[in-house]
Chain A
Amino acid sequence: MNFAYFRSLAAKFLRPSQTHGEMDEELLSHIQHRADDLERQGLSRSEAERRAHIEFGGQTRFKEECNEALGGNFFETLMQDTRFSLRGLRKSPGFLFVAVITLAFAIAANAVVFGILDGLILRPLNVPQSENLWGSAYGDNPMWQTYPNYLDLRARNHSFEDLAAFKFAFVGLNRGNDASLANGFATTGNYFDVLRIHPYLGRFFNASDEHGPNSAPYVVLSYSYWHRVFLDDRSVLGRTVLLNKHPFTVIGVAPPGFQGTLLFINPDFFMPIVNQEQVDGEPLLNARADPNGVFEAFGHLKPGVTPAQATADVNTVGAFLENTYPKQFGHKTSSLVRQGLTSFGGAARAFVFGLMLLASLILLAACANLGGLFSARAADRSREVALRLALGATAGRILRWLFTEAMLISLAGGTVGLFVGIFLLRELGNWQPFAGAPIHIPISPDPKVYLFALVLALASGFLFALVPARQVRRTDPYQIVKAGSTSRPGRKLAFREILLIVQVTICAVLVTSSMVALLGMMRSLYSNFGFEPHNTVLASLNLNMAGYSGDSVPVMQTRMLHALETIPGIEAAGLVNNYPPLVYLAGRRSHIFKHDATDLRPSNVFFAPYRYDVSPSYFQAAHTALLAGRTFSWHDDKTAPSVAIVNRTFAARMFGSTSNAIGGYFKMEDGTRVQVVGVVEDGRYQNLTEDQQPAVFLSYLQSPLSAAFLIVRSKRDPQQIAAEMRSKLHALDAGLPLDIQTWNNLLHVVQFPSRVATMALGVLGMMGAMLSLTGIFGMAAYSVSRRLKEFGIRLALGARRKNVLEAALGRPVKLLAFGSLAGLVLGILASKVLESIVYQATPRDPLVLAAVIVAMSLLGLLATWIPARRVLSIDPLRLLREE
């Protein structure tokens, strides 16, 4: 590159007509000079000029070459190629459609997965220096830990600059007119200082506001909640709101874009954790054995401290605490986790990268298919290409034209795919997977996703254009114009065919496993959970939100139960504290000791069954069958001896059998001796695929709690029942926020993994089917168009159409059959994995086999339909005449 180059470029762009004029003049001048010489040799002027023109050769071609020599015709050629490609593509809309749709599918899949990757993993928490922010999974549980342990960790560690902590505060928030449910974080005073963020309005609370329990009645609103509920009202500062009937002063608004320190939950407000008793109704911060104090602690590591050193440090503190408080604290090895996904981080990362891998496989398969389609097209047009080569087009020029065509298709496919992807990401971002739970998926399409999709589309365009490019480079125009396409189908498997088999196999695996998952899901909807979720409506309420505490809680709960029993057409109304089985994955366990145990330290626990505190009518309302003994009565209250009802597994493991259990005793962790008075059937408790677990039911009158679910069983329309429940409960206390749903709706959370697995397998199966379809179509079309002349001759010589069809489509169909069979076998093997995700998924079902075979045959039929029609419609006479 030098000055002369730019001058010639500049001249070309600034004065294009002049450049062309000069070129014409120069070539003409050359011809005149030659004619002068010829004239001097004795020819007439006109004859001389004619000869000169002929000797010079093809002016247009040389002018084009001159143009190229001048450089800078990139755009000119591009426009020409684009026009030419568009014209070509318009002539084959079927090819265009299949190509664009194939690519759009693959790009959409990749855009969605990349969007998820971006939202969950690439995009850090929206706070300064978030890369150095670590949470400590510490204590007995991966997440929950006790407040005193947190305080000790904060004081004794040498690794963190400071440690903040938070838990959840799901409250009824009253702005003065009515109470609505709001989801907040109860945080330590240093929360905002540790995060190094500054308020949008007003101020944040900080460590100096904490002066013991209930000393800091302040609340900071999140920007989006302030915007949505307080309508950007700046005068909100200093106003008093009621959280569970306790007054809190609004002191500030958090900055926009700050959504708390968990990706899946956007808190509406932040309040000091020292005031938790006011919203929780009971103090949770004092007991070292109560792991409900803190959800997660986190902070920035000191400069120079590595995560490994910090982990060791945290474990040292844990070991110290276990030695100091052996009765309250059993230390398990701690680890450090990235803030945002808590201890789901590892699983989420593995899941997303798995998805990414699948998506790129899909893209690769799509490219292979498009390469196949392009080869078929190039073969169809090999005569046209050969003619252009023979007429003086350079191979480079034809390649450029091929690549332009590929780029046009990849741009179209990429655009369609991106729009589909954006739509899906928006839906996913707005999706609230669980009714009534404040969980969302932190995803929104952003420029990174657009760029990613575009680059991917262009890169794949380049990839699939390589296939026909190889073909063109080997084209010998003379041979093709003379003889037509002559290449013979090879005997051995081409790379593309192996790819196709792999593709069909993967498709069949996906189809098989999605069938297995689907059938399992359908079966699990009607299986026995140890209760009957159909025909029930549940009201979730927390009496603490309406200001009840202590002994007034069970009294009010009993009044509510009796009020619900007066609704006409109901079979039973029951109550369960906390959560019913299979709701929100919220299994609560209690430590149970043998009746003669004296040392009640954590290591001596007999087992830890799920624990439910229920009303006498609960078993009737839930349809849980009583196997032996009695249910609770209204007399099993605090003044009566402690009694329990256990499930069959509990009875078998502690007492040997159901009949032995009745009348037997065990000890709770607080030392209470409890007598077993009844045994009920086994059930599912925390999730659908767990091994059979022991469970214990206690009387809610003996261990009252303000958070409970009321269960109403009735065959009437759930909506009507819900409305009547609301009005009955409203009549008792108008200020109590309620959430009313059917049990089946609440089961969505435990069904979530199997739903997602089924959905993902279904979508991937569809994509796999789509790709196999275009792959086989491409191959069949290619094989037909390559051998069209041969088939024509065969037909002319008297071959039957059936035989010709066999010759044309035998190979693709064989590949399909082979791939499907391999996929079916692999799919049945892979379904073993599914059994752990989808309840009752089993591949040993003739329905699965039949469905897969039908699906794959349908696919084969669809893919070979058009090529087969083409073979059948061969007119040998016309074909041979044209050749």
Chain B
Amino acid sequence: MPPSSAQLLPGTLDLLILKAVSLGPLHGYGVLLRIGQISDQALLIEQGALYPALFRLVRQGLLSATWGISENNRRAKFYELTTTGRKRLRDETGAWNRLATAMGSALAAQPEEL
């Protein structure tokens, strides 16, 4: 694990997956690559841990899955955002931004500002 990479906060994996998939249908390995790409390789995910999360999201009806052929010419299962998934992504992104802003300003507080 490179020293610059961040530990994933609990509960953020689902949000990252939703975001990754929202940019276009992806298979599992693709999701992994996309997350690495959009986070500048700062967020690393244990490969196997991805799948329980994917299955959970499908069960919750946030993702749909279909089998297809990948760019490597292999059979793979492709995940796509459902309408509910899209709405959930919007909601959670808003919530996350509010939290991040609040945390940021809280941590940036200087003694003279009090």
> 27 A-B residue contacts at CB 8 Å?
A4-B58, A4-B59, A4-B82, A5-B60, A5-B61, A8-B58, A26-B51, A26-B76, A29-B70, A29-B77, A32-B72, A32-B74, A33-B29, A33-B72, A33-B74, A33-B76, A34-B29, A36-B72, A56-B48, A57-B46, A62-B48, A62-B51, A65-B51, A68-B52, A69-B52, A70-B55, A70-B59
Interface pairs A-B: 9 shortest CB-CB: A4-B61, A62-B48, A65-B52, A69-B55, A33-B29, A69-B56, A57-B48, A69-B52, A56-B47
Closest to A5 in B: B59
Give complex CA distance A36, B64 in Å. 26
Q: Is B49 an interface residue (CB 8 A)?
A: yes
In the complex the two chains form, is A25's CB within 8 Å of B59's CB?
A: no
What residues on B are CB-neighbors of A27 within 8 Å?
A: 48, 51
In the complex the two chains form, is A33's CB within 8 Å of B27's CB?
A: yes
Q: Would you call the interface of chain A mostly helix, strand, loop, or mixed?
A: helix
What residues on A are CB-neighbors of B64 within 8 Å?
A: 4
B residues whose Cβ falls under 8 Å from a Cβ of A: 27-30, 46-49, 51-53, 55-56, 58-61, 64, 70, 72, 74-77, 82, 84
Instruction: Looking at the assembled complex, report how far the CB atom of B80 sits from the nearest CB atom of chain A, in whole angstroms.
Output: 13
In the complex the two chains form, is B28's CB within 8 Å of A61's CB?
A: no
Q: Is A66 an interface residue (CB 8 A)?
A: yes
How many residues of A are counted as interface, with CB atoms below 8 angstroms from the partner's CB atoms?
Answer: 29
Instruction: Looking at the assembled complex, report how far the CB atom of B67 sits from the nearest CB atom of chain A, in whole angstroms.
Output: 8
Give complex CA distance A26, B72 in Å. 15
Instruction: Looking at the assembled complex, report how far the CB atom of B8 sits from the nearest CB atom of chain A, in whole angstroms.
Output: 15
Q: Is A71 an interface residue (CB 8 A)?
A: yes
Give complex CA distance A69, B61 in Å. 13
Q: A26-B28, A33-B72 are in contact. List 8 more A-B contacts (CB 8 A).
A: A2-B84, A27-B48, A30-B29, A33-B70, A66-B51, A69-B52, A69-B55, A69-B59
Instruction: Looking at the assembled complex, report how far the CB atom of B32 sits from the nearest CB atom of chain A, in whole angstroms.
Output: 8
What residues on A are CB-neighbors of B51 within 8 Å?
A: 23, 26-27, 30, 62, 65-66
Give complex CA distance A265, B76 in Å. 80
What residues on B are CB-neighbors of A58 within 8 Å?
A: 48
Instruction: Looking at the assembled complex, report how far the CB atom of B89 sits from the nearest CB atom of chain A, in whole angstroms.
Output: 16
A residues whose Cβ falls under 8 Å from a Cβ of B: 2-5, 8, 22-23, 25-27, 29-30, 32-34, 36, 55-59, 61-62, 65-66, 68-71
Give complex CA distance A32, B27 in Å. 12
Give complex CA distance A29, B53 in Å. 17
What residues on A are CB-neighbors of B60 within 8 Å?
A: 2, 4-5
Closest to A29 in B: B76
In the complex the two chains form, is B48's CB within 8 Å of A61's CB?
A: yes
With A29-B75, A33-B70, A56-B47 as given contacts, are A71 and B52 in contact (CB-CB < 8 Å)? no
Closest to A36 in B: B72
In the complex the two chains form, is B49's CB within 8 Å of A62's CB?
A: yes
In the complex the two chains form, is A66's CB within 8 Å of B52's CB?
A: yes
Closest to B46 in A: A57
Instruction: Looking at the assembled complex, report how far the CB atom of A417 sits from the nearest CB atom of chain B, in whole angstroms.
Output: 41
What residues on B are CB-neighbors of A61 within 8 Å?
A: 48
Give complex CA distance A25, B27 in Å. 12
In the complex the two chains form, is B53's CB within 8 Å of A69's CB?
A: yes
Instruction: Looking at the assembled complex, report how far the CB atom of B109 sits from the nearest CB atom of chain A, in whole angstroms.
Output: 36
What residues on B are CB-neighbors of A71 within 8 Å?
A: 59
Instruction: Looking at the assembled complex, report how far the CB atom of A814 sits from the nearest CB atom of chain B, in whole angstroms.
Output: 48
What residues on A are CB-neighbors of B61 within 8 Å?
A: 2-5
Instruction: Looking at the assembled complex, report how far the CB atom of B69 sits from the nearest CB atom of chain A, in whole angstroms.
Output: 11
With A4-B60, A68-B52, A69-B52 as given contacts, are A29 and B27 in contact (CB-CB < 8 Å)? yes
What residues on B are CB-neighbors of A62 within 8 Å?
A: 48-49, 51-52
Q: Residue A8 contacts which of B28, B46, B59 (CB distance < 8 angstroms)?
A: B59
Closest to A52 in B: B47
Q: Residue A29 contacts which of B48, B58, B74 (CB distance < 8 angstroms)?
A: B74
What residues on A are CB-neighbors of B55 within 8 Å?
A: 8, 66, 69-70
Instruction: Looking at the assembled complex, report how far the CB atom of A834 sits from the nearest CB atom of chain B, in whole angstroms.
Output: 64
